[in-house]
Each structure stands twice: as structure tokens, then as C-alpha cells.
């Protein structure tokens, strides 16, 4: 007489779409029980923070890759759609599972949902456990000398580094036990995650390879080809010297621990000697900034909606819809700004230096609210991460933690001339200006009629005049920001 089958363990995948270094999956494998992997498209995510268009495109392809990898191990990925708590309870009943495991998410709504769900499942006799798969250090473990959260990055990162022992990443399982008859599953194609505009889908597809294998390859290529030049080259958008790992990290196709281990090994290996550890340390500091953003969101869950600095609650933002549309479409008349916004639309990503320039332009030149920029990035970035997005925009606006000072207004002309001196970046993304000489490329309105005619540029027709004049816009920003400071002193 055969033994009764063991009750399965449900592994709830979320922002951890990988097999290697996945603590929840590892715990399920260690149990020796059948594994039921599930991804739930949670329709109960608060409206503003439901995945944007670019994130949904990435999610589709990442889930396809994960499904294939699990299928190769003989364990199909189950797809369900609806309220996560309802869907998970239903799956527990269907399978007779006595345990559910997941890796933690850190968005405020996810923390509230997961805490309630964990309590409900335990009350029903289901064992529940959750793990850290997304951060080097849990947000509640890093404290100032007085026991509070950090609001300045440098001492935060120093504290993390001093106590950091991430350990070695775990390899992917080689086999998964599965139920003889898997539960019913939705079809990924029926979820409608892919954009309907073929030009957008094509640009994303040409730029990225979502999935765990794509993440590993991206990291390897960066360490071999770029990390040694990263400290001095990371500010130049035309140079391929940044890692492009942020969307892979956000969707959990690679873990910070995997990146940490690979980077440290590369930096100390003979092949890494040319760049020494400088490039690796500079790169890992950016991983530290991601940790800092999650630290802020955890301790200040209002971060995506309200300024961390309460002085800015009464800030006199403008509401010029035409200016916002020009910024979104890359038609501000400032080439470096427009190049960045067009890169974002075409690829779902933007170079970090340019993110600061376009963000400063929106908030300070146009005096449009940082939340408008945050919302646009949320919809168009493949790496749209609530913590990074909110903290980054508050930094740009001067109202967040460790924020840029209010009087720091990026000059888009000087930024273009300094970091895109030969114009390779602008010429790629603003091709109507491609034939202009370098000396006027970043300020085409200063070109004489002969130069414009030779380049085939008709200002106001082929390319717009600036929507605002830099000097006047800068002074307006300084006056408005100074008023907030003075009124609250």
C-alpha cells in the first residue's frame, strides 16, 4: 500500500523571479515536500502603485522565463489573478498545503497585506514563513546612535558596510518535487500585460532580456567590460559604462547578495587588478543607495505621496499641462533633457546622470510637482521601484532625505556640454539635430540662420524653441524655494 502523498509547500513568487539565491524556494526544497510555485497578479494593489506599462511588459517576459525554468525542473508555475489574499487562500484549500513561504516586499501596502495574510493563515493552522531576498540589510536593523532611522546616505552606508556579512549566494535547485496533478493555472497571454503600441514594445524588446539568465549575463558583461572605468565614466550617457541591472534587481531576477559576491570576487581577482577595487566600490555604493531608499520607505511609508520635509507641504507648484506634456514627450527645446525623455520612452530606462538633469528641469525650471515626474517614471521605467522612485524624486526636489540643496539648479546646456561634449547621446535620441555642430548642439537657438539651414533645422518646426529661458526660470525657482525656507525659519 503506497504512502499518502505529503502535503505541498506553496512558494509565493513576487519580486523574486529567480531560482538561485531564493530563500523561500530554498526552504520549500529543504522540506522534502512537493512544491507549488505560484505568482498572483494582485488586482488589489492600490491604484497609483499598480505596475505601470513598462513594468507590466517586463513582468510578462520575466514570468515566461521563470515558468520555463521551473518547467525544466518538472514543477509548473501556477498563475492566478485577483486579490492576493483570496487567491492564496483558495490555493491552500485546493492543494491541501500545510505551509506557505514567500520573500518579503517592502512597499507599505505589501507590508500591510502580508502581515494580515500571515496572521490569517496561521490562524487556520497553515505554517507561514517569510525571508529577505531583496536587500543586503533589513531596514529595521540599521539604526543611528539614538536608535532611529538614518536620513543621510553616507553614515547609513557606513553603518551597513561595517556590519555587513551577506554570505554566499545559494545555487538554484536541480530538481523540484511536484504534485502529480498541478492546480489549474491562468494563461500568461490572457493577462494582457504587453503594451498595445508596437513601437513601444519593439523598443523595449530590442533593449532588454528579462529573466534570470539575462540578469546573470548583464552582470557578467558589466564586470568584465565596464566596472574598471565606472567611477569616471558613469556620468557620461553615451558611454555603456553603467550596469543596467536595476530592472533585474527590481523584479528579483538577481539578488543583491549575488551582485555583491560577484563584484567583490571580480575586484580581487587578477583580471580585476587594472581597475583595482575603485570601480567595484563605486558600483557597490549605488547598491547601497538602493538599500537607503528602501530604508527610507520602510520608516517613512508616506514617502511616495508627501514630502519628507514638511516645509514643502505648502510649496507653490505650477500646474502648466502644456509644460508637463512637452517634458514627457521630449519637446522642451533643451536637447539633453529631450534626449533623456526620448530614451526613456523608447527603452524604458534612462541614464542616471540624465535622470537628475530631467528631474531638476521639471521641478526647478518648470516648477512642476515632483509627484508628476514620479508618476511618469512609474509608468515608463522598466525599473520602476517605489522606494527608489520616491526617494530619488524627493532628492531632486530638495524635500527628501539627504536632498539636493534648493539652490542647486542643473543648467541643461552646461550639463550637456560637459557630459555629452561630442553630442553622441543627443544625436542618437534627437536625430533632427544630428547635423548641428558641437558648439551649438546643446543650445540650438543660439545658432545663426546659415548654420541651422545647413543642418536642416527649422526651429519651431523641426525642433521647438525652449519652453522656458534658463536664466529666468532659474531665478524663479530660487525665489520660490527661498520663500519656503524663509517662511518656515
CATH number at residue 83: 3.40.50.620
- Tell me, yes or no, if 343 is annotated catalytic: no
Annotation marks residue 289 as catalytic: yes
Tens-digit pLDDT profile for residues 214-230: 999 999 999 999 999 99
pLDDT at 267: 72
- When pLDDT is averaged across residues 226-246 and rounded to a whole number, the result is 95
163 & 259 share domain = yes
Q: 466 and 328, same structural domain?
A: yes
- At residue 132, the pLDDT reads 97
Question: Is there a single domain that holds both residue 125 and residue 234?
Answer: no
If you average pLDDT over residues 391-401, what whole number do you get? Answer: 92
Identify which has the larger pLDDT, 164 or 259: 259
Assess if residue 114 is contained within a domain. yes
CATH code at position 440: 1.10.579.10
Asked, for residue 258, whether it belongs to a domain, the answer is yes
Let me know if residue 140 belongs to a domain: yes
pLDDT at 485 over 70: no
393 catalytically annotated: yes
Count Cβ atoms below 10 Å from residue 129 Cβ, excluding itself: 14
CA–centroid distance for 333 within its chain? 27
Domain that holds residue 351: 310-487
Is residue 274 predicted with pLDDT exceeding 80? no
Q: Using an 8 Å Cβ cutoff, are 304 and 49 in contact?
A: yes
Q: 73 and 38 in one domain?
A: yes
Structure confidence at residue 167 (pLDDT): 86
Confidence of residue 382 (pLDDT cuts 50, 70, 90): very high
Domain boundary among 77, 106, 133: 133
Is residue 2 predicted with pLDDT exceeding 70? no
Examine residue 159 and state whether it is found in any structural domain, yes or no.
yes
pLDDT over 70 percentage in the chain: 95
Rounded to 10°, the helix 370-380/352-360 angle is 140
Q: DSSP H helical segments within 208-351, as ranges?
A: 212-225, 230-233, 246-250, 256-268, 278-299, 321-329, 335-347
pLDDT at 10 over 50: yes
396 neighbors 354 (Cβ within 8 angstroms): no
Last residue of a domain, one of 88, 117, 133: 133
Q: Is pLDDT at 142 greater than 50 in this prediction?
A: yes
Statement to judge: residues 21 and 90 lie in one domain: yes
pLDDT of residue 1: 42
| Domain boundary residue, one of 299, 334, 351 | 299
Distance of CA 225 to the CA centre of its chain: 23
User: Which of the residue ranges 61-75, 258-272, 396-410 has the most confident prediction, judged by mean pLDDT?
Assistant: 61-75
Q: CA torsion sign, 45 to 46 to 47 to 52?
A: negative
Catalytic residue (one of 138, 170, 286, 432): 286
Q: Which residues are annotated as a binding site for FAD?
A: 230, 242-246, 283
Q: Which listed residue (393, 395, 411, 429) is catalytic?
A: 393
Pick the catalytic residue from 49, 191, 317, 445. Answer: 317
Q: Is the predicted pLDDT of residue 341 greater than 60, yes or no?
A: yes
- Do the domain assignments include residue 261? yes
Residues 6+ apart with CB under 8 A from 213: 65
**For residue 48, what are the contacts with CB-CB under 8 A and spacing of at least 6?**
304, 375, 378
CB 286 within 8 A of CB 259: no
Average pLDDT over residues 205-216: 96
- Helix H or strand E encompassing 41: strand 35-42
What's the rounded mean pLDDT across residues 378-393?
96
Are both 126 and 139 inside the same structural domain?
Answer: no
Query: To 5 degrees, how large is the angle CA 294–CA 371–CA 51?
Result: 60
pTM of the model: 0.95
- What does the pLDDT read at residue 404? 67
Q: Is residue 403 over pLDDT 80?
A: no
Known binding-site residues equal 230, 242-246, 283
Residues 129 and 69 placed together within one structural domain of the fold? yes
- Tell me: pLDDT of 306 over 90: yes
CATH at residue 271: 1.25.40.80
Other beta carbons within 10 Å of 351: 24
Active-site residue, 12 included: no
In the predicted structure, residue 398 carries a pLDDT above the cut 50: yes
pLDDT, tens digit (0-9, with 9 covering 90-100), for 83-133: 999 999 999 999 999 999 999 999 999 999 999 999 999 999 999 999 999
Active site residue 317: yes
Do 275 and 330 fall within a single domain?
Answer: no
Query: Is 414 part of a structural domain of the chain?
Result: yes
Which one of the listed residues 370, 376, 378, 395 is annotated catalytic?
A: 370
For the chain, what is the mean pLDDT? 93
Is the confidence at residue 146, as pLDDT, over 50? yes
Residue-wise pLDDT for 51-75, tens only, equals 999 999 999 999 999 999 999 999 9
Catalytic residue list contains 445: no
Average pLDDT in the 178-205 region? Answer: 89
For the chain, first and last CA: distance in Å?
Answer: 81
Residue 272 confidence (pLDDT) above 50? no
Minimum mean pLDDT range among 121-125, 227-231, 275-279, 439-443: 275-279
Residue 176 lies in a domain: no
- My answer on whether 294 and 376 are in the same domain is no
Report the number of distinct structural domains present in the chain. 3
The answer to whether the CB of 212 falls within 8 A of the CB of 65 is yes
Residue 402 is classified by DSSP as T
pLDDT digit string (tens) for 348-367?
999 999 999 999 999 999 99
Q: Does residue 321 sit in the same domain as residue 442?
A: yes
The answer for residues whose C-beta is within 8 angstroms of residue 68's C-beta and 6 or more apart is: none
Q: What's the confidence (pLDDT) of residue 489?
A: 47
Asked whether residue 294 falls in the same domain as residue 363, the answer is no
Could you say which of 289, 320, 417, 445 is catalytic? Answer: 289
**Domain contains 320:** yes
- Are 291 and 389 found together in one domain? no
Amino acid at each position: 500500500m503506497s504512502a499518502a502523498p505529503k502535503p505541498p509547500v506553496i512558494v509565493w513568487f513576487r519580486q523574486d523571479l529567480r531560482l538561485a539565491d531564493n530563500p523561500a524556494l530554498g526552504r520549500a526544497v529543504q522540506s522534502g515536500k512537493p512544491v507549488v510555485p505560484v505568482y498572483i497578479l494582485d488586482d488589489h494593489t492600490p491604484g497609483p502603485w499598480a505596475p505601470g506599462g513598462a513594468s507590466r511588459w517586463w513582468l510578462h517576459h520575466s514570468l515566461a522565463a521563470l515558468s520555463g525554468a521551473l518547467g525544466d525542473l518538472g514543477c509548473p508555475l501556477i498563475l492566478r489573478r485577483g486579490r492576493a489574499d483570496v487567491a492564496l487562500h483558495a490555493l491552500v484549500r485546493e492543494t491541501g498545503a500545510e505551509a506557505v513561504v514567500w520573500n518579503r516586499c517592502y512597499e507599505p501596502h505589501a507590508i500591510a497585506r502580508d502581515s494580515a495574510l500571515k496572521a490569517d493563515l496561521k490562524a487556520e493552522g497553515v505554517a507561514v514563513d517569510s525571508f529577505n531576498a531583496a536587500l543586503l540589510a533589513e531596514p529595521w536593523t540599521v539604526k543611528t546612535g539614538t536608535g532611529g532611522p538614518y536620513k543621510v546616505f553616507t553614515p547609513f552606508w557606513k553603518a551597513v558596510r561595517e556590519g555587513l556579512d551577506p554570505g554566499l549566494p545559494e545555487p538554484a535547485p536541480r530538481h523540484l518535487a511536484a504534485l502529480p496533478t498541478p492546480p489549474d493555472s491562468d494563461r500568461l497571454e490572457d493577462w494582457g500585460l504587453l503594451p498595445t503600441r508596437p513601437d513601444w514594445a519593439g523598443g523595449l524588446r530590442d533593449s532588454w532580456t528579462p529573466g534570470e539568465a539575462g540578469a546573470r549575463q548583464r552582470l557578467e558583461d558589466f564586470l568584465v567590460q565596464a566596472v574598471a572605468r565606472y567611477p569616471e565614466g558613469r556620468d557620461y550617457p553615451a558611454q555603456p559604462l553603467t550596469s543596467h541591472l536595476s530592472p533585474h534587481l527590481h523584479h528579483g531576477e538577481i539578488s543583491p547578495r549575488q551582485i555583491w559576491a560577484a563584484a567583490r570576487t571580480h575586484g580581487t581577482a587578477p583580471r580585476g587588478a587594472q581597475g583595482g577595487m575603485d570601480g567595484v566600490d563605486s558600483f557597490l555604493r549605488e547598491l547601497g543607495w538602493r538599500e537607503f531608499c528602501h530604508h527610507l520607505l520602510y520608516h517613512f511609508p508616506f514617502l511616495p505621496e508627501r514630502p519628507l520635509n514638511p516645509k514643502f507641504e505648502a510649496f507653490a507648484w505650477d500646474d502648466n499641462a502644456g509644460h508637463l506634456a512637452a517634458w514627457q514627450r521630449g519637446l522642451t527645446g533643451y536637447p539633453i533633457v529631450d534626449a533623456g525623455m526620448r530614451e526613456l520612452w523608447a527603452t524604458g530606462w534612462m541614464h542616471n546622470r540624465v535622470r537628475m538633469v530631467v528631474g531638476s528641469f521639471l521641478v526647478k525650471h518648470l516648477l512642476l510637482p515632483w509627484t508628476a515626474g514620479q508618476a511618469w517614471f512609474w509608468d515608463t521605467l522598466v525599473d520602476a521601484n517605489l522606494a527608489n522612485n520616491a526617494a530619488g524624486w524627493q532628492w531632486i526636489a530638495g524635500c527628501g532625505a539627504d536632498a539636493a540643496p534648493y539652490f542647486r539648479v542643473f543648467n541643461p546646456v552646461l550639463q550637456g556640454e560637459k557630459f555629452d561634449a561630442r553630442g553622441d547621446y543627443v544625436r542618437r535620441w534627437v536625430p533632427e539635430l544630428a547635423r548641428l555642430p558641437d558648439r551649438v548642439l546643446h543650445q540650438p537657438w543660439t545658432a545663426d540662420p546659415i548654420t541651422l539651414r545647413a543642418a536642416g533645422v527649422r526651429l519651431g518646426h523641426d525642433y521647438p524653441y525652449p519652453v522656458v529661458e534658463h536664466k529666468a526660470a532659474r531665478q524663479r525657482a530660487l525665489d520660490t524655494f527661498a520663500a519656503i525656507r524663509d517662511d518656515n525659519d
